[in-house]
Amino acid sequence: MSIKVVEITLISCEGLTTPDNHRPLKKHARGVIRTPQSASVVRSTSLDRHGGAYPRWDERFTVEMPAWARWLDVEVWSGMERLIGTARVPASDFSGGIVPDGYLNFLSYRLREGNGEFNGIVNVSVRVVGRKLESRNGAGFGCALGVPGRVVTGIPVSNTNSPSKTTFKNVV
Amino acid sequence: MGNCCSDRSRGRNAAIGGASTSNGINSEAVDEFAEATAYNSVTSWIELSLSASNLRDQSVFTKCDSMVVLYTKRFDGSIEELGRTEIQNSVNPVWNTKHAIIYHFEVLQTLLFRVFDVGNLFQNLDVKNIKLDELQCIGEGTCLLSEIIAKPNRMLTVDLICKEENSIPNQSHNSGKLSVRADEPISVKTLTELTLRCSDLEYTDLFSRSEPFLVISNSAVDGKPVPICKTEIMKNDLKPTWKPIYLNVQQAGSKDTPLIIECFNFNSNGKHDLVGKVQKSLADLEKLHSSGLGENLTLPTPVGQHYQNKILDTKLFVDKFIESTESTFLDYLAAGFEFNLMVAIDFTASNGNPRLPDSLHYIDPSGRPNVYQKVVLEVGEVLQVYDSDKRFPAWGFGARPIDGPVSHCFNLNGSSNYCEVNGIQGIMMAYQSALFNVSLAGPTLFGHVITSASVIASQALGSGQQKYFVLLIITDGVITDLQETKDAIVKASDLPLSILIVGVGGADFKEMEILDPDKSDRLESSTGHVATRHIVQFVPFRDVQNGGTAALHSLLSRLPSQFLTYARTRDIHPKLNQI
């Protein structure tokens, strides 16, 4: 199992509205990246104080995605407490598809609210900056040692620590 | 919706795709308003300099005194003189006179150079007064302006051919070589970033809110102002600060040319109310910025029979004024970026039996091209110049190859593993042979073709080629796979690819306009993935005789700005060869 090292830039949003009455958002918005390893592990931008319904962050994060992870979620929050919408970014949009690794993908997605309704658009850029073999495994499947491209032997190890604690900073 | 008409601002402001649908208001009306007169295409002033080598010496006893006359060849074959160089006395002359000429990406600009031997007779005359009939032509050479531009060092050498009147017509002598170099004046590349702000807007309308935006126009030669830039619309703001706008000196005319800055209040019916205006050159704006002072807006107010400029309390401030140099479209070409054409032709049954003269696919024995051939030729001859190897992928869709099911993307050349053909002529031959080898069927699906084009574009990315792809789809009917096509376009919007769709025949193409973002919003796929930039343009090609070519040119004229948006958003810079 290899891990993709992915660089994500949360660029901006367009046309955010409040989920209640779909008026243009006035409050400060914040973007959040959630990887599928754990629902509680997220990366968050700072609050955008000027853009209103058109926030702009241009903040870059590096996250690691195991090969089994098929997507990552980008969420946009109003302030700290209210979720506006989520966009699910399929991994195939930036890796393993037709574009080569290392290509800077500019991607835009329609945000969906919790009840499935549409909200604004979120703009991100994603680049696969590297791949590495998984050196620890929280699920206790095994530990792969070796260099990429060669057959390696998996050695079962005990479930020592959760990958989320070592890999990701818990922001929320 | 691009929120500005210049190619530069499109590239910059649209930091990601059409991110410029800025303020939640339908800015379409504004766009129409601004684009009605503004130009969208990339046009560039360039300077041609000439030199020659091994000029054939006409006069045995005297020295060779030569002069070049530059002509442009029109579509109908007639020629028009553009300018003359000075007289140089050498067999390998280098002329100092530079010719300024406007380069258009989308048109074929044929240049003709004639080298004349001036001899002793006219040495003292002004070159403009020399009668060319009395001179002996040493030789002439011709080339396309785009051929010079597409060369990596923007220098092209043409053979000078001497046509002697009393010899056999086909026999011609080589009488030396002429080198033409194109340079872009540095002022063109200077880009000014401006942040403008207004204070205390005087706008009191009970029935509408204040939604101000600025339009900047240059006062053209004939006095009619031409809009060159506009800002986004601010909402409900009496002290608006607009996003930075980008102007280049070329658009403004010069740094001292007065620009008209008008502040309008947005009105959804398109009749925007003028709030006030001010006339300032770029140099004036720079002074305003450095002094930090504001300039009062004025409003023409009717006083009796006449208009008087009423001075308003509203002031215009320049918060930011930065000049920078940016790579132009020509810089990218000079650095080796290429445009690679790909062609997809509609083979659906609605075209009619190709053996009958009323079919759109009918091959006229007289050699007159049918409408498909005509579009390929028109677009191909413009684009092929920008491709060094001239290998074009060519597909057909909506037909049944011999003993196979209907294919929505088959290679025109009949091969099962490679799709490329050699040159425009190769497309023509592959197309004609395909007509005999497939039976027309249906329905009209674009998804497969766009996906194939995307695969090629991303393979080129993988191998690090500096290529931008242009997929030309020629179709006679409305597509039936709208959602699949949208999905494919949204996926392709992040690749170095633009799609030109040309509708031929009499079908109603209303639905196709959904794909063209000029006429609709950003495209969205079924999964919620949104197109990052505008890559599709659609045009119906009906009136072949009159407006058809112009329609194709307008289609092509957008390509440079689409390319620039692509390159600039991902910080791709041309590595300039030192000339």
Type of residue found at A57: W
A49 at the B interface (CB within 8 A)?
no
Sign, Cα dihedral of A34, A37, A39, A40: negative
Tell how far CA B431 is from the center of its chain: 27
How far is Cα A72 from Cα A154, in angstroms, rounded to an integer?
A: 27
A1 touches chain B (CB under 8 A): no
What would the two tokens of residue B151 be? 């060369």
Q: Report which of residues B39 and B122 the model is more confident about.
A: B122
Residue B561, helix vs strand vs coil:
helix
Task: Name the nearest CA neighbour of A12 among B98, B16, B502.
Answer: B16
Cβ within 8 Å, pair A11-B528: no
Q: CA angle, B460 as apex, B384 and B538 as ends, to 5°?
A: 55
Count residue pairs from A and B with Cβ separation < 8 A: 69
Residues of A within 8 A of B24 (CB-CB) are 15, 24, 53-54
Strand partners, B158: B178
> Residue B495: its chain A contacts at CB < 8 A?
99
- Cβ contacts of B524 on chain A, cutoff 8 Å: 110
Which of B486, B487, B494 is the mutation pick for testing A, counting most A CBs within 10 A?
A: B494
Query: One-letter amino acid identity for B58?
Result: Q
User: Is residue A116's pLDDT more than 50?
Assistant: yes
- With CA atoms as reference, the chain B residue closest to A112 would be B528
d(CA A142, CA A155): 5
Average pLDDT estimate for B391-407: 92
Please indicate whether, in this complex, the C-beta atoms of A110 and B524 are within 8 angstroms of each other: yes
Residue from A7, A89, A103, A108 to probe the interface with B (highest B Cβ count within 10 Å): A108
pLDDT tens string B261-303: 988 888 777 778 888 888 888 888 999 999 988 888 888 888 7
Q: To the nearest whole angstrom, how far is the Cα of B22 from the nearest Cα of chain A?
A: 7
Q: A125 vs B16: CB contact, 8 Å cut-off?
A: yes
Judged against a pLDDT cut of 50, whether residue B1 lies above it is answered with: no
Q: Which residues of B touch A (CB under 8 A)?
A: 15-17, 19, 21-24, 235, 454-455, 458-459, 461-462, 491, 494-495, 522, 524, 527-533, 569-570
Amino acid type, A149: G
| Pairs from B88-93 (Cβ < 8 Å, separation ≥ 24) | B89/B63, B89/B64, B89/B65, B90/B55, B90/B64, B90/B66, B91/B53, B91/B54, B91/B55, B91/B57, B91/B64, B92/B51, B92/B52, B92/B53, B92/B54, B92/B55, B93/B51, B93/B52, B93/B55, B93/B66
- A152 interfaces chain B, CB cutoff of 8 Å: no
* Half-sphere exposure (Cβ direction) of A101: Cα atoms closer than 13 Å: 8
Taking the C-alpha atoms of residue A127 and residue A168, their distance in angstroms, rounded to an integer, is 18
pLDDT at B241 over 70: yes
Q: Is the ipTM of this complex over 0.95?
A: no
Domains of chain B and CATH, by start: 44-184 (2.60.40.150), 190-325 (2.60.40.150), 329-570 (3.40.50.410)
List pLDDT tens digits, range B443-476.
999 999 999 999 999 999 888 889 999 999 999 9
Q: For residue B425, what pLDDT is reported?
A: 95
Give B532's contacts in chain A (Cβ within 8 Å): 106-108, 123
Give how far A37 is from chain B: nearest CA, Å. 22
The answer for residues whose C-beta is within 8 angstroms of residue A145's C-beta and 6 or more apart is A133, A135, A152, A153, A155
User: What are the residue ranges spanned by the domains of chain A?
Assistant: 2-133
Residues of B with Cβ-Cβ distance to A102 under 8 angstroms: none
The minimum CA-CA distance between B315 and chain A, rounded to whole Å, is 23
Would the CA dihedral through B306, B309, B313, B316 be positive or negative?
Answer: positive
Top residue of B452, B454, B526, B529 to mutate, by most chain A CBs within 10 Å, is B529
Query: For residue B376, what is the enclosing H or E element?
Result: helix B371-383
Tens digits of per-residue pLDDT, B502-556? 999 888 888 788 888 665 678 889 888 999 888 998 888 876 556 678 888 888 9
| pLDDT at residue A85 in the model | 93
Q: Which residues pair with B527 in a beta bridge?
A: none
Query: For A108, which residue in chain B has the nearest alpha carbon?
Result: B530
In chain B, how long is the greatest CA-to-CA distance? 88
58-77 of A, contacting B, C-beta below 8 A: none
Q: Per the CB < 8 Å rule, is B458 touching A99? A: yes
**B462 contacts in chain A (CB < 8 Å):** 99-100
Q: Which fold has domain A2-133?
A: Immunoglobulin-like (2.60.40)
Give the N- to C-terminal CA distance of chain B in Å, as an integer: 38
Q: List the single residue in B with minimal CA-CA distance to A95.
A: B458
For B327-336, what is each residue's pLDDT tens digit? Answer: 888 889 888 8
Backbone angles phi, psi at B434, to 5 degrees: -65, -35
**pLDDT at position B577 over 60:** no
- pLDDT tens digits along B56-101: 765 555 567 888 999 999 888 889 999 999 888 888 899 999 998 9
pLDDT tens digits, B325-367: 778 888 898 888 999 999 999 999 999 999 999 999 999 999 8
Q: Minimal Cα–Cα distance from A72 to chain B, Å?
A: 14
Cβ neighbours for B519, distance < 8 A, ≥ 6 positions apart:
B513
Burial B308-347 (b: 16+ CB within 10 A, else e): eeeebebbbbbeebeeeebbbbbbbbbbebbbbbbbbbbb
How do strand A2-14 and strand A118-133 relate by DSSP bridges? antiparallel
Strand bridging mode B529-530 / B467-475: unpaired
Task: Tell whether A50 lies on the interface with B, counting CB pairs under 8 A.
Answer: no
Chain B touched by A113 (CB under 8 Å) = no
Instruction: Note whether A93 contacts B: Cβ–Cβ < 8 A.
Output: yes
Q: Given an 8 Å threshold on Cβ–Cβ distance, is B494 in contact with A90?
A: no
> Measured between alpha carbons, how far is B281 from B284 in angstroms, rounded to an integer?
5
Of B461, B494, B522, the CB nearest to A107: B494
- The pLDDT confidence band at residue A163, using thresholds 50, 70 and 90, is very low
Question: Contact A99/B530, CB-based, under 8 Å?
Answer: no
Name B282's Cβ contacts closer than 8 Å, sequence gap at least 6: B192, B247, B249, B252, B255, B256, B257, B259
- Provide the token pair at B114: 């004639």
The whole-number pLDDT of residue A57 equals: 93
Is the pLDDT at A138 greater than 50? The verdict is no
B103-114 residues labelled b (16+ CB within 10 A) or e (exposed): bbbbbbbbbbbb
What is the model's pTM? 0.76
Place of tokens 């390509």: B559
User: B456 CA to chain A: closest CA distance, Å?
Assistant: 9
Of B17, B24, B495, which is closest to A15 when you measure between CB atoms?
B24
In B, which residues are within 8 Å of A123 by CB distance?
Answer: 16-17, 19, 532
Question: Is residue A102 less than 8 Å (CB to CB) from chain B?
Answer: no
First to last CA, chain A: 29
Evaluate if residue A137 carries a pLDDT over 80: no
pLDDT band at A130 (very low <50, low <70, confident <90, very high): confident
* Helix, strand or coil, per DSSP, at residue B222: coil
- The tokens for B396 are 């057909």
Give the model's pLDDT for residue B451. 94
On average, the pLDDT of chain B sits at 82
